[in-house]
Amino acid sequence: MTQHFDAIIIGAGQAGPSLAGRLAGAGRKVALIERKHIGGTCVNTGCMPTKAMVASAYAARVVARASEYGVSISGTPAIDFARVMARKDNVRFNARKSNEDWLAGMENCTLIRGHARFEDAQTISVGEERLTADQFFINSGGRAAIPDYPGLSDIPYLTNVSLLDLNTLPQHLAIIGGSYIALEFAQMFRRFGSDVTVIERGKRLIAHEDEDVSLAVKNILAAEGVRFHFEAADLRFANNGHGVEITIGNDAKIQVSHVLIATGRRPNTDDLGLDRAGVSLDKKGFIEVDDSLKTTVDHIYALGDCNGRGAFTHTSYNDFEIVAANLLDNDTRKVSDRISTYALYIDPPLGRAGMTETAARASGRKLLIGTRPMSRVGRAVEKGETLGFMKVIVDAETNKILGASILGTGGDEAVQSILDVMYADKPYTTITRAVHIHPTVSELIPTVFGDMKPA
């Protein structure tokens, strides 16, 4: 027997349940299909568990620096790794249950467990069941991309998912990759007491950021004892009886206990039967969508990591907002209206909004650029957290803000004030003329704008 729904949502990540709530609240009969855990990457293997671990690592760092603040701690502080991991699990499992309870009480919404595959543009199968719908919304997420290095398939490597289930602290963790996931795990495990080596095929970390940001991040982690190998494209892996031997290039060898692969993400689009529905993919496997997130099939939409238009929880949620606004609110919203923004959650964090300096220069605009070290930010000095710097970039002809990087304590929060002015399409003077609370990190943002120079 075939069941028919007004809307079928494939995937219960950040966008899926919220869209189900809006559609069901509008009186539509909705099916939400999830083959694994409610909440998707963010709740289960991404933001929530990893930031819980980042918090534990931060606490360890504060304890290690306690004497700098005039605090004496008797005895030798130690990392209870089992409790760190238990706290992480408590955070993610509570969040998952909250999502499950919400969906269970949602009228007009049926939660179906299983793997959805398109049979044609109007029909999907979930096991033996056949479901049809007027509209489909794909929210299938992504997973770790695994490179084809010699010997890698012969060792028990970790991904961002399996690492969260470790029972014992790695003695020496090698991390393959030098971007966001890699660096957050590198710092936290170093603070937990592991030796950590980051192996990056490029010339520097987080290559899509400006070089000054990349270098500052490297120096912060190196000062804590993280080791680095760059331009390491030629890697080979082998079990050696005591762990893993990694050969870099012709002769460099390192012995490690664990290997984490953090070389990027790929979309979960290869097992959905999208070809049967006529949905087109790009060369990287992402679902092709237009500005309203509609695929090449008029009644099928794609949201979140699977569409290649953003790889963050906040962009996935914004995808939901765009779709809901267009379908239910008669409010035309577009992906192209979105300003790029994200954070790197090392300590101190990097908050980013808009263009990098590199991209701004490449655009040919006349620029104003301002920088300020965090050592000259009173709030940072008071907290004893003075690493990093602020940088702002402005179009010299329009006075509109093009971008900002705040690498420093509270940078992930402080950058929001800049982002809000960018969305309001106001000049930077909107910030410089505002009164900010003292003492805060944000109060120095007007000063950075005031100190800008032609570039």
Task: Give catalytic residues, as residue numbers.
Answer: 438
Return d(Cα 88, Cα 160) in angstroms, integer: 14
Distance CA(109)–CA(104), nearest Å, equals 8
Q: Among positive and negative, which fits the CA dihedral 311, 315, 319, 322?
A: negative
Neighbours of 54 (CB within 10 A): 20
Between helix 15-25 and helix 313-328 the angle, nearest 10°, is 20
- Kindly give the residue spans of alpha helices, DSSP state H, lying in 164-249: 180-192, 211-223
Q: For residues 382 and 409, is the Cβ–Cβ distance under 8 A?
A: no
Residue-by-residue DSSP string for 205-229: SSTTS-HHHHHHHHHHHHHTT-EEE
| DSSP string over 11-28 | --SSHHHHHHHHHHHTT-
Measured distance CA(280)–CA(275) in Å, rounded: 7
CB 109 within 8 A of CB 38: no
CA–CA dist 109, 93 (Å, integer): 22
Q: How far apart are CA 355 and CA 339, in angstroms?
A: 9
Tokens of 382: 């008071």
Q: Any bridge partners for residue 260, and if so which?
A: 158, 175
Q: d(Cα 248, Cα 176) in Å, to the nearest integer?
A: 11
Question: How many C-beta neighbours within 10 Å does residue 364 have?
Answer: 7
Residues 47, 313 contacting (CB under 8 angstroms): yes
Q: How far apart are CA 320 and CA 413, in angstroms?
A: 23
